A and B are shown apart, each in its own frame.
Chain A
């Protein structure tokens, strides 16, 4: 059944179809309509869940952790400062191996205040042990939530997931979304069977003190292995989901006309969607460009990115965030995994921060710049901020 839904309504449907039993959340723009929609599902008797109103995002995550520890499926949603406030407990959720699923609507960090899209909020949480999947449309938002429960709840994985969507560009944009049949979703995810849980009949302690000679390091090592093992579970889940629900997702990187491309754009989120139209237009002019939209940032698709980079003459990384290190995150990690594997030129384009609109016209200029680099083999500038006020080059 297809309905016209916003990204946030799609996220709420994802939680509903996944039969999350506890939802604890605190409102923040642009996420709020996710939890409002869930609240009305519960109030109307369409979703059998306990909704816990809390006084902060920190408490929202803490409540999800406690509930998940009793052996029930949980869901929450947040953005920007709300996510930052959760930071401490995000690591508790992953360290305690609780496969919580959370929608994050990417929003810029203040100051200056901005409610618009920017991926710094989730990039700043890349090291907390959560999986991260980014979406290009509302269908992918809904589907990714369902798949995330299935992947995270495997007993050899047991890791939480952030299902991420661009503020407003998806969260408040209505599109046709296919809502899968409940029965098929039930069969796909299965009942939540916790590997361990709080049980008065079998008392146990969780998260106790571990001395330096104790197995702390082994706990972290097991998490690292689980994050790697998640790749196989993601592949399996995506393949089965595609077959069951008639979708066509790539597990890690959505490649569009990258075969034989002279230059490939590597990007996260909705810019990748607009870029596909630009690729089509430029291909008609004989310009061989392609786009590789990274879906999973955690686990990081190392092998796919190496393969893509080796297949082309130039890789342009587009980052809708900036980290104050050696370039923005997708760029820095891409460079890191390519080192000693290929000498293909790589350039970072920082663009669209604070929700600044990314149009086909500016993307075309990026592709032209990338083709020039592909042709000359020289990167003029490793990190380029695109479209700054007063810079006429990109306008």
Chain B
């Protein structure tokens, strides 16, 4: 079983990202489950969402405490919440930031860190506004590259089906992130 935790802020689409990723895995024949931290979400407040993936039906009906992957949609969260909490030793953190993995590891003390400037990618595809770009689809493309668990084409198809608007722009943003993500700590 692969367990993935998303950290974002209310309004950034973390919960939707967790569902689109589940959909992509499902399209590749996996069993999935995607859910928010059972909170009362407010715009701008920290939000957590989860995706479980397995080769057999997912019967686990509890939260994820020891994720294999952590995906951070908003770099300002690095100061607000402990994104590394419970992460498996051989896990990977993927962060939306302008910084390189080596730079970010000065503050995020972890072996495997990947970074991608999903904010610029989202803005270049006119997803959301300059002030509040929607980065949730771009970061999924980066995840496809970093994890190697799901094909970028499948992620793009899942985005095209699930995005409420600008389906192709969202899919292309994922592709850009796939091609530009920087992986450190190998």
Instruction: Report A's interface with B, CB cutoff 8 A.
Output: 2, 4, 29, 115-116, 136, 166-170, 172-176, 270-271, 273-274, 276-277, 355, 357-360
Q: Are A115 and B40 in contact (CB-based, < 8 A)?
A: yes
- B21-72 residues with Cβ-Cβ distance < 8 A to A are 22-23, 26, 31-36, 38, 40, 58-63, 65
Contacts of B5 in A (CB 8 A): none
Q: Are A169 and B61 in contact (CB-based, < 8 A)?
A: yes
Minimum CB–CB distance from B115 to chain A (whole Å) comes to 28
**CB-based nearest B residue for A269:** B61
Q: Are A271 and B61 in contact (CB-based, < 8 A)?
A: yes
Q: What are the nearest 7 A-B pairs in CB distance?
A: A168-B38, A173-B35, A270-B61, A174-B34, A273-B59, A274-B61, A273-B61
Q: Are B62 and A358 in contact (CB-based, < 8 A)?
A: yes
Question: Cα distance A169–B34 when bound, in Å?
Answer: 10
Q: Are A174 and B40 in contact (CB-based, < 8 A)?
A: no
Question: Cα distance A116–B62 when bound, in Å?
Answer: 13
Question: Cα distance A270–B63 when bound, in Å?
Answer: 12
Question: Cα distance A271–B60 when bound, in Å?
Answer: 9
Q: Are B65 and A359 in contact (CB-based, < 8 A)?
A: yes
Q: Are A274 and B60 in contact (CB-based, < 8 A)?
A: yes
Give 12 pairs: A residue, B residue, CB < 8 Å, sorted on A: A4-B32, A29-B40, A168-B35, A170-B61, A174-B34, A176-B32, A271-B61, A273-B61, A357-B62, A358-B62, A360-B60, A360-B62
Question: Cα distance A172–B61 when bound, in Å?
Answer: 12
Q: Are B35 and A276 in contact (CB-based, < 8 A)?
A: no
Contacts of B36 in A (CB 8 A): 168, 172
Contacts of B26 in A (CB 8 A): 2, 4, 176
Q: A173-B34, A175-B32, A175-B33 are in contact. Are A4 and B22 (CB under 8 A)?
A: yes
Decide yes or no whether B19 CB sits under 8 A from chain A: yes
Question: Cα distance A270–B35 when bound, in Å?
Answer: 14
Question: Cα distance A388–B52 when bound, in Å?
Answer: 28
Minimum CB–CB distance from B126 to chain A (whole Å) comes to 26
Minimum CB–CB distance from A363 to chain B (whole Å) comes to 9
Q: A174-B22, A176-B26 are in contact. Are A4 and B34 (CB under 8 A)?
A: yes
Question: Which of B19, B38, B61, B62 is in CB contact (< 8 Å) with A174?
Answer: B19
Q: Are A274 and B59 in contact (CB-based, < 8 A)?
A: yes
Q: A174-B19, A174-B22, A359-B65 are in contact. Are A116 and B58 (CB under 8 A)?
A: no
Minimum CB–CB distance from B45 to chain A (whole Å) comes to 16
Contacts of B23 in A (CB 8 A): 4
Question: Cα distance A116–B39 when bound, in Å?
Answer: 9
Contacts of A355 in B (CB 8 A): 38
Minimum CB–CB distance from A99 to chain B (whole Å) comes to 30
Q: A4-B23, A355-B38 are in contact. Are A176 and B59 (CB under 8 A)?
A: no
**CB-based nearest B residue for A276:** B59
Question: Cα distance A60–B23 when bound, in Å?
Answer: 35
Of the listed residues B23, B32, B61, B65, the one surrounded by the most CB atoms of chain A closer than 10 A to its CB is B61
Known: A169-B35, A169-B62, A173-B61. 18 other contacts (CB 8 A): A115-B40, A166-B61, A169-B61, A172-B35, A172-B36, A172-B38, A173-B35, A174-B33, A175-B32, A175-B34, A176-B32, A273-B59, A274-B59, A274-B60, A277-B60, A355-B38, A357-B63, A359-B65
Q: Are A173 and B40 in contact (CB-based, < 8 A)?
A: no
Contacts of A4 in B (CB 8 A): 19, 22-23, 26, 32, 34
Question: Cα distance A176–B40 when bound, in Å?
Answer: 24
Contacts of B62 in A (CB 8 A): 169, 274, 357-360
